[in-house]
Amino acid sequence: MKKGSPLDISRFLEAYDDEAAKKGIKISIGFDFHEYVAITRATPTKSPTFPNFRPDRSPINAGDGFWIIGVDDNDEVALLDAARLYDLSHSNFAEHLQSLKAFYADPIIHAHPDDICTCSAPGATKITGKVSYLGDLWVREDYRGQGVPRIVAGIAFGVSFAMWAPDFLCALVARWSLDKGIVAQYEMPHHEPGGSMLQLVEEKIVEDNWLIWLTGEELRSRIDSHNKPSQL
* CATH assignment of the domain containing 180: 3.40.630.30
Q: Indicate whether 29 pLDDT > 90.
A: yes
| Average pLDDT over all residues of the chain | 94
pLDDT band, residue 133 (cuts 50/70/90): very high
Q: Is 230 a domain residue?
A: no
Q: Indicate whether 10 pLDDT > 50.
A: yes
Q: Is 134 a domain residue?
A: yes
User: What's the whole-model pTM score?
Assistant: 0.93
Q: Is 229 a domain residue?
A: no
Please state the rounded mean pLDDT for residues 199-227: 92
User: How far apart are the C-alpha atoms of 105 and 55, rounded to whole Å?
Assistant: 9
- Residue 225: what pLDDT? 80
Q: Is 232 a domain residue?
A: no
Q: Indicate whether 231 pLDDT > 60.
A: no
Q: Indicate whether 139 pLDDT > 90.
A: yes
Q: Is 1 a domain residue?
A: no
Give me the number of domains the chain comprises.
Answer: 1
Domain that holds residue 22: 6-224
User: How far apart are the C-alpha atoms of 192 and 183, rounded to whole Å?
Assistant: 12
Please state the rounded mean pLDDT for residues 127-146: 96
User: How far apart are the C-alpha atoms of 170 and 128, rounded to whole Å?
Assistant: 11
Q: Is 65 a domain residue?
A: yes
The H-assigned helical ranges of the chain are 6-22, 33-41, 93-98, 107-110, 148-164, 175-179, 182-186, 216-224
- Residue 220: what pLDDT? 94
